[in-house]
Amino acid sequence: MDIRSPLPGVFYRRPSPESDPFVEPGSPVGPDTVVALVEVMKQFFEVQAGTSGTIATVAVADADMVDAGQILFTVHQS
Amino acid sequence: MALSVLKPGLATTVQDTGRPGYYNVGIPPSGSLDQYSSLAANLLVGNAEDAAVLECTYMGPELRFDRPATVAVTGADLPPRLGGEPRPVWESFAVEMGDVLSFDFLRSGARAYIAVSGGFDVPVMLGSRSTYALGALGGVGGRALAAGDELPIGDADGAAPGRSVPAALRSTHPKHREIRVMMGLYDHRLTDGGRRAFLDAEWRLTTLADRTGFRYRGAALEFRERVAPFGAGSDPSNIVDAPYPIGSIQIPGGVEPIVLHRDAVSGGGYVMVGTVISADMDDVGQSAPNITTRFVEVDLDGALRARRERADRLEALREAVR
């Protein structure tokens, strides 16, 4: 199962530069868990996991540009 | 009331053919950034050409219909679903009372247009229903849609569902675009190398791209030395304040050109090195972050020819969908 970006923009793994990442490999997630931010048009959009399980891999580097539909994380489903 | 907003999307606004005639007092034309697709959506559902549609940027909303209607989605490739079942783009379809319209992820382009038979019947402000969010004017309360909004729809039977835009008349959204510009009025402020670099560079659209302007990155342009005239800022890219046409390209600091679009400010103190021709403004509006663009110089004859070609294409669309 993958978590994809719903929109194009800049991918951020943390809520702010000083904060810890939202999730790491091994982190448990539920459908509503916020896993990343995508910034576009000066807005930060919260990406939710949309599924339950544990984060397997982080597919994109922090602050990289992503396209809509691009895989951000892979998830081991529970 | 006829339509409930369950999820608003990222920046979904009511737009139409715009609000021309007030730019001299600082109120921009607004209206759909991709007028061609917006017109196609209205034609597909049997609306008047100036009926209001929804412009959805990068993400679709989730909408519940409280009455039957004919609906069409055009512009960006943002696949619609009705009650979870896929529906086509560039083709009208029927919705029944209680149906929920939602969208898959964006496949290409930047802005999708949703037309509903009857049009979105928000109040007309200064001759238009278009939302100008910076001025809190038009649309739904002068802002983008929010969850819980109820949108009125005008009374109309609409066209029967199943109308379709032929493939040749559907917009496509490549990853690389060539956007035609007329150079001036301030390109003389660039060095010869700076002017060449502007036209040679492969510009990449940044995430700073909204209805006001589209900011690109890709080269640094050199300006001629000068003594700043009275009233101009000290940066080489500053001028004495001047009016900005829609489509004009300013380059603050010689980096990151900004193409102004239909919600732009009406004037300011940056050089405009060129202006995107009107025929290509729809393509700017369909550019998403990371799309690459080359600015291609045309002269006035070339710009007028492109405008006639665009008018012919609009006429072909009207013929094909009527």
Does the structure's ipTM exceed the value 0.90? no
Does A60 touch chain B if contact means CB atoms closer than 8 Å? no
Domain boundaries, given as residue ranges, for chain A: 2-77
Q: What count of Cα atoms within 13 Å lies in the side-chain half-sphere of residue B47?
A: 30
CA distance A70 to B261: 28
Cα(B103)–Cα(B79) distance, rounded to whole angstroms?
A: 6
Closest-CA distance, B301 to chain A, in angstroms, reads 35
Q: What is residue B134's predicted lDDT score, i.e. its pLDDT?
A: 95
CB atoms within 10 A of CB A25: 12
Contact in structure between B69 and B2 (CB atoms under 8 Å)? yes
Long-range contacts of B305-310 (CB under 8 A, 24+ apart): B306/B180, B306/B277, B306/B279, B306/B280, B307/B277, B307/B278, B307/B279, B309/B279, B310/B36, B310/B278, B310/B279
* Sites in chain A below the pLDDT cut of 50: none
- In sequence order, the 6+-apart residues with CB closer than 8 A to the CB of B85 are none
pLDDT, one tens digit for every residue, chain B (322 residues): 589 999 999 999 999 999 999 999 999 999 999 999 999 999 999 999 999 999 999 999 999 999 999 999 999 999 999 999 999 999 999 999 999 999 999 999 999 999 999 999 999 999 999 999 999 999 999 999 999 999 999 988 778 899 999 999 999 999 999 999 999 999 999 999 999 999 999 999 999 999 999 999 999 999 999 888 898 998 889 999 999 999 999 999 889 999 999 999 999 999 999 999 999 999 999 999 999 999 999 999 999 999 999 999 999 999 999 7
Count of residues in chain B: 322
CB half-sphere exposure, B104, CA atoms < 13 A: 15
Distance from CA of A44 to the nearest CA of B (A): 10
Indicate the class that CATH gives domain A2-77.
mainly beta
Nearest to B289 among A6, A40, A43 (CB): A40
Tokens of A19: 């904060």
> Which helix (H) or strand (E) element contains residue B307?
helix B300-321
Alpha helices in A1-78 (DSSP H): none
- Alpha-carbon span B57 to B210, nearest angstrom: 9
List of domains in chain B: 3-169 (no CATH), 176-313 (2.40.100.10)
Compare all CA atoms of chain B with the CA of A42 and give the residue at the minimum distance: B208
What is the distance in angstroms between the Cα of A49 and the nearest Cα belonging to chain B? 15
DSSP A22: S
> From A9, which residue of chain B is nearest by alpha-carbon distance?
B207
* Contact check, Cβ <8 Å, A8/B210: no
Instruction: Verify whether the Cβ–Cβ distance A65 to B290 is below 8 Å.
Output: yes
pLDDT of residue B1: 57
A71 in contact with chain B, both atoms CB, cutoff 8 A: no
Which residue has tokens 């393509």? B283
pTM score, whole prediction: 0.95
Give the residue on B whose Cα is nearest the Cα of A71: B105
